Amino acid sequence: MAIALETTKMIAEVEDGIGWMTFNNPDRRNAVSLEMWAAIPTILDAFEADDRVRVIVMKGAGDRAFVAGADISEFDKRRSSAAESDKYGDVSQGAHRALKALQKPMLAMVQGYCIGGGLAIALYADMRIVTEDSRFAIPAARLGLGYAFDGLRMLVDLVGPSYAREIMFTARQFSAEEALRIGLANRVVPRAALEATVRDYATTIAGNAPLTIRAAKAAIAEVLKDREARDIEALDVMIRACFDSADYAEGRLAFREKRSPAFQGK
């Protein structure tokens, strides 16, 4: 089932417990335009509210790129003045807030280029499964751009400060093999195996207990915060909800009956 959007450059579909969010601008290597930024919160809010969606997958249309950054071709029109730039920033930051606030698990299915803003988007995924020919870079140092704290913190949390410095200082492209070695990618697969691998991961996650996964995702996010900013009480509430859930009873019963559990997220 597809979700109706005001742009054709983003596609949102629900299939077998998976919410698919596709960046559909293949002529520009899926570079993100203003209308695409605006659609991201709409898609994620719909997936978050849909009980059928257990896991979300982000991917790029075509075979050349996941996302090759922001669509610079529209900057003359959309960011031609400080006021226009502020409007653009409000929309793009709304997308980043929606990606950051997502409570359901999310995978990034990456083939080809994952550059600049595309890599920033991929960092929000809980896992990144990539093809052998994928390329990763943040070319800010070649453009003279300043990079915001939140984006760099996510990068440092993922790859550590030393590799974050190498990515930012050199602005060079990293291979899939390097991305796997430094923790930027979870798995590297041949192109022919990418969709099947992602579907297998997504189906496995979709079949597990949603409340447990949500609590684990929230706990890992709290671990990455400064100690004084952590909300341990909220985590305790989520953990207690797991033990009080019908899913916990179903998991125990399925174990005794030697069958796969049928979790409902309740």
For the stretch 36-67, pLDDT in tens is: 999 999 999 999 999 999 999 999 999 999 99
Residue-level pLDDT at 76 = 60
Taking CB atoms within 8 Å and a gap of at least 24, the contacts of 70-77 are 70/31, 70/32, 70/33, 70/116, 70/117, 71/25, 71/28, 71/31, 71/32, 71/33, 71/34, 71/36, 72/31, 73/28, 73/31, 74/33, 74/34
Beta-carbon contacts of 38 under 8 Å, excluding residues fewer than 6 positions away, are 6, 7, 91, 94, 95
pLDDT tens-digit map of 207-224: 999 999 999 999 999 999
Lowest mean pLDDT segment, chosen from 48-62, 64-78, 144-158, 240-254: 64-78
Is the pLDDT at 80 greater than 60? The verdict is no
Q: What is the pLDDT of residue 146?
A: 83
Residues 39 and 109: their CA atoms lie apart, in Å, by 19
Return d(Cα 99, Cα 77) in angstroms, integer: 26
Tell the CATH topology of 10-205: 2-enoyl-CoA Hydratase; Chain A, domain 1 (3.90.226)
- Higher-confidence position of 146 and 210: 210
Q: Give the dihedral of Cα atoms 219, 59, 113, 164; nearest 10 deg.
A: -10
Domain boundaries, the chain: 10-205, 209-256
Residue 145: the pLDDT is: 78
Of the candidates 146, 147, 96, 141, the one whose C-alpha atom is nearest the C-alpha of residue 122 is: 96
CA atoms of 109 and 183, how far apart (whole Å)? 15
The answer to whether the beta carbons of residues 187 and 129 sit under 8 Å apart is yes
Model confidence at 170, in pLDDT bands (50, 70, 90)?
very high
Distance CA 197, CA 193 (A): 6
pTM exceeds cut of 0.85: yes
pLDDT surpassing 70 at residue 169: yes
Q: Angle at which helices 246-256 and 210-223 pack, to 10 degrees?
A: 110
Query: What percentage of the chain exceeds 70 in pLDDT?
Result: 96
Identify the burial level of 117 via C-beta atoms within 10 angstroms of its C-beta, where 0-12 means exposed, 13-18 middle and 19 or more buried.
buried
Residue 87 binned pLDDT confidence (cut-offs 50, 70, 90): confident
